[in-house]
């Protein structure tokens, strides 16, 4: 995925209907700098493992996690293209979305069924435990009833026979919305054992709610690679935000391309530096412009299609909570050193010898330049 694209396709779309234009823009993705950085870090972790059982990719709502999954999935499949030609039954990477639970307990049976469906497994509802066929009580082959443990074994066998290397769970925060800390720990232990089975590497992608898991389970945290997919900050990341904005501007199916860069400050504010929120905002503005018979997007369209102030406030609060988790505070570092018994060693360390003061009027020593000075960028 690149910021460059074939403009011939765009010119053809200009002659299409409004619905086709909206569908065209909805499918467009921008590989902006932060997304590519997280993708590369994730690929490196899966390649080398180094004692890691699973990876957690977390970020605020609308940062572009689904786009990251699509790009990462394509990268994994591209790396396995030669193997796929020799074994068409192989499914190197599987993406499944964790359903939001209707009760305080996560529905593991439904989750396992979704994985098998993503693998293309036939006759899921007719699975039979072969060992049960030779037992004293014959199973009901017409209406089989399976326990959660049996469904899990079926799923593990499917992953093994399909030679799946990576299992990606989107919206993984739904799995961790348990009613109590004990249930949350049980869920995490299941994920850990599931990830360590065979050669399957588990990637959980979700909102900043995922960070609560690492605070409750130190062992899981030790075996987990945690990646922060952050927003673009105004001071440090505005250039990356402009890159994404320019990419979307070039892909808008409009006869007169709008100058979105001239509204960059406003668009940054209403999108909170989140590329996914920016993309959805531009989709709504495009729909307004096309619905009104306009050939470009104006500031009025952008203002009318922006998120409400309350919605932006909720997202901003989520961002704040998540970013605070990743900040290395002095209190946390001091507490760690205290637990390790290092505070006393620091207090007993001999003070460093102070440098003698320079007599008044004596200039500071400096290096005398020799030759030509070269400025290093």
Strand pairing class (166-170; 93-97): parallel
Give the phi and the psi of residue 171 in degrees, each rounded to 5: 55, 40
- What is the pTM assigned to this prediction? 0.77
Residue 287: the pLDDT is: 96
Q: Which two tokens stand for residue 160?
A: 């093994």
Q: What is the per-residue pLDDT across 140-164, written as a single tens digit (0 to 9) for each?
A: 555 556 778 888 888 888 888 888 8
Residue 330: the pLDDT is: 53
Highest mean pLDDT among 174-178, 194-198, 323-327: 323-327
Strand pairing class (54-58; 224-228): parallel
The answer on pLDDT for 133 being more than 70 is: no
Section 39-61 average pLDDT: 85
Helix axes 275-291, 18-26, angle to 10 degrees: 170
Residue 291: the pLDDT is: 94
**For 10-19, 183-192, 221-230, 246-255, which range has the lowest pLDDT when averaged over its residues?**
183-192
Residues 118, 121, 125, 128, CA torsion sign: negative
d(CA 280, CA 275): 9
DSSP β-bridge partners for residue 166: 93, 201
The answer on pLDDT for 299 being more than 90 is: yes
Q: Which two tokens stand for residue 174?
A: 């739904």
The answer on pLDDT for 271 being more than 50 is: yes
Residue 370: the pLDDT is: 42
d(CA 187, CA 176): 7
Residue 137: the pLDDT is: 61
Per the prediction, the chain carries an average pLDDT of: 80
Q: What is the per-residue pLDDT across 331-359, written as a single tens digit (0 to 9) for each?
A: 666 777 778 877 654 455 555 555 555 55
Residue 3: the pLDDT is: 43
Residue 292: the pLDDT is: 93
Element (H, E) at 319: helix 309-326
**For 202-211, 256-265, 282-291, 361-370, which range has the lowest pLDDT when averaged over its residues?**
361-370
Band of the pLDDT at 374, cuts 50, 70, 90? very low
Section 259-282 average pLDDT: 95
35 sits in the region (left: phi over 0; alpha: psi -120 to 50; else beta) called alpha
Q: What is the per-residue pLDDT across 12-30, written as a single tens digit (0 to 9) for each?
A: 999 999 999 999 999 998 8
Number of H helices, E strands in the chain: 18, 5
Q: Which two tokens stand for residue 338?
A: 């205290």
How many of the other CB atoms lie within 10 Å of CB of 46? 18
Strand pairing class (224-228; 93-97): unpaired
């Amino acid at each position: 995925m690149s910021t460059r694209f074939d403009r011939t396709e765009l010119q053809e779309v200009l002659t299409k209907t409004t619905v086709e234009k909206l569908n065209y823009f909805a499918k467009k993705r921008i590989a902006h700098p932060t997304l590519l950085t997280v993708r590369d870090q994730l690929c490196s972790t899966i390649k080398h493992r180094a004692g890691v059982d699973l990876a957690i990719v977390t970020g605020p709502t609308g940062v572009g996690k689904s786009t990251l999954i699509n790009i990462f999935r394509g990268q994994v499949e591209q790396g396995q293209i030669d193997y796929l030609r020799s074994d068409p039954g192989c499914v190197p990477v599987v993406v499944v979305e964790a359903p939001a639970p209707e009760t305080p307990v996560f529905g593991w049976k439904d989750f396992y069924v979704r994985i098998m469906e993503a693998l293309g497994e036939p006759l899921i509802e007719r699975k039979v435990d072969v060992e049960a066929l030779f037992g004293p009580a014959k199973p009901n082959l017409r209406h089989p009833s399976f326990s959660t443990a049996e469904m899990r074994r079926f799923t593990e066998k499917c992953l093994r026979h399909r030679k799946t290397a990576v299992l990606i769970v989107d919206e993984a925060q739904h799995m961790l919305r348990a009613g109590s800390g004990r249930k949350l720990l049980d869920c995490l232990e299941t994920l850990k054992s599931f990830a360590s089975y065979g050669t399957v590497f588990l990637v959980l992608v979700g909102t900043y709610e995922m960070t609560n898991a690492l605070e409750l389970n130190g062992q899981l945290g030790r075996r987990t690679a945690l990646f922060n997919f952050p927003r673009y900050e105004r001071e440090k990341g505005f250039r990356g935000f402009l890159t994404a904005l320019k990419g979307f501007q070039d892909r808008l199916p409009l006869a007169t391309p709008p100058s979105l860069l001239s509204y960059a400050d406003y668009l940054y504010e209403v999108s909170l530096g989140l590329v996914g929120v920016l993309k959805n905002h531009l989709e709504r503005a495009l729909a307004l412009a096309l619905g009104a018979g306009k050939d470009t997007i104006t500031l009025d369209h952008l203002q009318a299609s922006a998120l409400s102030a309350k919605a932006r406030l909720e997202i901003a609060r989520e961002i704040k909570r998540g970013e605070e988790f990743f900040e290395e505070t002095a209190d946390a570092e001091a507490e760690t050193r205290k637990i390790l018994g290092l505070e006393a060693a620091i207090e007993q360390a001999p003070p460093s010898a102070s440098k003698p003061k320079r007599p008044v009027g004596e200039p500071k020593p400096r290096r005398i330049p020799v030759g030509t000075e070269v400025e290093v960028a």
